[in-house]
Structure 1
Amino acid sequence: MKETLMRTSPGGNRIGAALVDRRRVDTWVELMGASEIAHRMEHNNTAILPPIVHRKLRQLMVLPAWQGADVPRPFQADFLEAQLIESLSPETSALLQPVQKNHHSDLVQELVRFSFRSSMTPISLSSVCEALFTTKTTLTVSCREMFGYGPMALMRRIRLQQVHEVLCNPELRQRLGCNTVQQTAEHFGFASRNHFASAYRDLFSETPRKTLLASR
């Protein structure tokens, strides 16, 4: 769908992309009683939609005219999510293309699993390769092929996502005994406060303290 997501013009270009939290997708699927949609998403990575269905998605992704960086721009996220799920239903006759698994994809899948198992201890690339019985070159090439960045960046991103989840959830903080940002960061292996705060801000566009305060 690269052609449908990018439009060039004499003045520059515009790219539109919708990223939806998988948990929200699961909620939609449960409400609609459409388990086959979850199955489709799990086993396919491309969907070619009928023109009328694609047009509905495109219309929902159009943002109002830009009026300045500080002016809020309303966006119909809920409608877009619902339309996205509906677009993947069998009734739309979407042409699905299955995920092509290979050695690289299997290796990266093992890396992701390993990242979650070891997310509370400092780790090095050498020890990761030793645990996965692979070489640095193979792991790095595989990871960049799948995600566009290296294995250590992927593992750091996973840990940042876990920190974000804890900071957003008071029950999780109580269960883990992490009542502050620093305690949460240290729990997931972040030793440098400055590096952690900078990486968190780059990923979530806000400070970890702001995330914590918003959950109280």
Structure 2
Amino acid sequence: MTRFDGQPATEGLPLGAHPLFSSDDLDETRDCVARVYCDHRLETIGSGRLAARHNRLAGRSLSINVMTYGAKTLIAPGELERFYLFQVPIRGSASVANGPNRHEIGGGFGGVLNPDAQTCMIWSEDCVQVQVQIEKAALLDAARAEFGLPSGQTLHFDGANDMRGGEGRAFMSVLDFVMREAERGTNLVDGDTLLARQLERTLMIGVLQTQAHNLGPAVSGASGPVPRILRRAEEFMRENLQNPIMIEDIAQSAGTSVRTLQSMCRTRYGRAPMTVLRDLRLEQAWEDLSNPKLDTSVTTVAMALGFFHLGRFSEHYRRKFGCTPIETLRAAKRP
């Protein structure tokens, strides 16, 4: 049952004193979220029971939100258009496709959705996210003032960023402080006071400082700028997702040795280069299955991306996205 009556329908989650709604009805949940975000496609995946909850603290140019769906969920809003959305899971994980930017968040990593890119996400069954929704014009103003964004240039964020140390940890501490004060009855970002405006600005600058974007590096250790060698390697992998390539091919394309490439991948991603390639192919499989054509099947998608052992493909897919390939395809084809 949905609640808009101010009662703490979302006990146990941050901002529990500021409930927006709770619901176990898919259509009702979609409508409630659309009121404050945008129209979107919403589908559950698998047999999990929907138990959506959304707490919200609203300011002038941004809002702080805590959301969960309680079930494995596909969310496809297309383009957000009017706002950027920083999101970091405090439980569970999510797979994110935002235009060409595809990444995983969770385990201390967060990311930002760009408003001018097609977006599709899958949230794990236990996913609980803290989200900061920032009006596009306000964040662009902050980027121009603080980072020298040229007039007329677009601000684009990229990838998942580690929020567990350095600037990321400091930003999350500020965000946590604002949420804890809200639990005590004080909305520090509401109203036209100097403190509210300064706190909103601080949160916007925090997003700009901790997330990788086209204006410069994120100030956060391993979440800083991707080395040129790894950028070249990943570009080559993406260009050859449907081609049989070896680690020697990847290293040669990046202009480095196999040993150096292996070391850099493990330092940056915690994975071997061929595992990175496999994950990129799995992300493409998810994209293809989430946006099927009339003749799309799990077999054709897997084979096209070089997964010739369907059982192993399904297992890797399930471990990464928390559902099977056929569940993704069925949800995408559901009327």
TM-score category (smaller protein): 0.5 to 0.7
> 1:195 aligned to 2:312?
yes
2:239 aligned residue (117, 123, 126): 117
Quote the residue 2:331 is aligned against: 214
Quote the residue 2:177 is aligned against: 55
Quote the residue 2:283 is aligned against: 161
Equivalences for residues 133-144 of structure 1 within 5 A: 133-144=255-266
Greater strand fraction, Structure 1 or Structure 2: 2
Question: In 1, distance between residues paired with 2:93 and 2:265?
Answer: 20
Once the two structures are superposed, what CA deviation does each residue of 1:10-61 show, in whole Å capped at 9, x if it has no partner?
xxxxx9468663637213878533333985955986432385533346899x
Deviation, structure 1 residue 206: 0.9
Q: CA RMSD in A?
A: 4.1
Question: In 2, distance between residues paired with 1:183 and 1:145?
Answer: 34
Equivalences for residues 179-194 of structure 1 within 5 A: 179-194=296-311
Quote the residue 1:129 is aligned against: 251
Is the 1:105–1:146 Cα contact (8 Å) retained in structure 2? no
Deviation, structure 1 residue 157: 0.2
Deviation, structure 1 residue 199: 0.7
Letter in 1 for 2:309: S
Structure 2 alignment gaps of length 5 or more: 1-88, 99-111, 116-131, 148-153, 183-199, 211-217
What SS is found at the alignment partner of 1:123?
coil
Once the two structures are superposed, what CA deviation does each residue of 1:128-155 show, in whole Å capped at 9, x if it has no partner?
2233232111000000000001000001
> TM-score, length-normalised on structure 2?
0.42
What SS is found at the alignment partner of 2:230?
helix
% identical equivalent positions: 20
> 1:89 aligned to 2:211?
no
Letter in 2 for 1:196: F
Question: In 2, distance between residues paired with 1:167 and 1:127?
Answer: 28
Deviation, structure 1 residue 167: 0.5
Structure 1 alignment gaps of length 5 or more: 1-14, 61-84
Deviation, structure 1 residue 115: 1.1
Greater helix fraction, Structure 1 or Structure 2: 1
Shift in CA distance, 86/155, structure 1 to aligned 2, threshold 3 Å: farther
Per mean C-alpha deviation after superposition, the further-off stretch among 189-198 and 154-163 is 189-198
> TM-score, length-normalised on structure 1?
0.63
Once the two structures are superposed, what CA deviation does each residue of 1:86-115 show, in whole Å capped at 9, x if it has no partner?
87413x698656367999822111111111
- The structure with higher relative contact order (CA 8 Å, sep 6+) is 1
